[in-house]
Amino acid sequence: MATAISPLAFFSAGAAATTGAIVPKPSQTPPLPKPLIPFLQSNTPGPLSSLTAPISAIAVAAILSTTPPLLAATGGAFNVYYGTAASAANYGGFGGNASKKDSAEYIYDVPEGWKERLVSKVEKGTNGTDSEFYNPKKRKEKEYLTFLAGIRQLAPKDVILNNLALSDVNLQDQIASAEGFSAEERKDENGQIYYVYEIDGAGTHSLISVTCAKNKLYAHFVNAPTPEWDRDQDMLRHVHESFKTVGSY
C-alpha cells in the first residue's frame, strides 16, 4: 500500500541507520493523468472492439505484424546491464559487457542509445555509486545504482530514504521541495522486499527502488527533468521497474 509522507518528515527522522500494438486514441480525447507508482495498474491496451470504426481481421494482423515485439508499450529498445557491485579495491572501470553476466549481483535495463559514465574509484568508495547511464541528448535524464555493504535487512521506509538523502544533496533538495511523494513496499516472485519511492520535485522527477540482498543495500535511481519526464515517462518507468537483484540471497 502506498504511503504518503510529508517531505519534512525525512529530515526529522533519525539518520540511523512491454506486448502488442498500441491503438491510438481519438485525438479529441484528452489523455488521463498518470498516477504516481502505478504498479497495481495494468498498461494493457483496451480491446479492438472499442475503436469507433470496425477493422477487419486481416487489417489487424497486418498492424500487429509490423509492431516490434516487446517495444510497443515503451516506444524503444533496451539493453540489459549486469552489475557486480564490486568494492572500490576491486573496481576496474567500465562495466556492462557480457563477461559480467555470471558474476552479476543486479540487473537493470538501459535505453538504447544511452551512454555509460565512468565511475571513479574515489566516487565508488565514498558514496557507493556502482554504475550510471545517461541520455546523451539530455545528461540529467539518467539512471544509476548505489550500494552499501554490511546491511542485512531494510530499515523502515522513511529511515532508508532519509539516509539516502543524507549522502545526496540533490536528493535532499528534491525531497524538501517535493510537490508530490509516494512510498510503497512490494515483493517480487521470490518474496524479496523492495521499497519503491516516487518524488515529484521542483523541476525534477525521481523513481527510486531499494532492496537488500547478499548483506548489501542496493538503491536504483531514475531521474529526469520535468520536460523529459513528461515526454519519456513510459520508458523511464520501464527502466525503473526492470531493476532487480540476481543470484543467491
User: pLDDT for 136-182, tens place per residue?
Assistant: 999 999 999 999 999 999 999 999 999 998 878 889 889 988 999 99
pLDDT digit string (tens) for 102-137? 889 999 999 999 999 998 888 887 888 999 999 999
Amino acid 125: pLDDT: 79
Amino acid 155: pLDDT: 94
Amino acid 142: pLDDT: 97
Side-chain-side CA neighbours of 124 within 13 Å: the count stands at 19
Average pLDDT on 33-60 reads 40
State the pLDDT confidence band at 92, using cuts at 50, 70 and 90.
low
Amino acid 228: pLDDT: 96
The pLDDT > 90 percentage for the chain reads: 47
State the pLDDT confidence band at 238, using cuts at 50, 70 and 90.
very high
Residue 199 has pLDDT above 60, yes or no: yes
Mean pLDDT of the chain: 74
CATH of region 9-17+77-245, choose from 3.40.50.720, 1.20.1090.10, 3.40.1000.10, 3.40.50.10470? 3.40.1000.10
Q: Which three cell numbers stand for residue 193?
A: 522486499
CA distance 157 to 4: 11
List all residues 6 or more positions away from 113 whose beta carbon is below 8 Å from its beta carbon.
Answer: 135, 136
Residue 45 has pLDDT above 50, yes or no: no
CA distance 141 to 204: 9
Amino acid 51: pLDDT: 38
Of 200, 215, 158, which is closest to residue 183 (Cα–Cα)?
158
The pLDDT > 70 percentage for the chain reads: 63
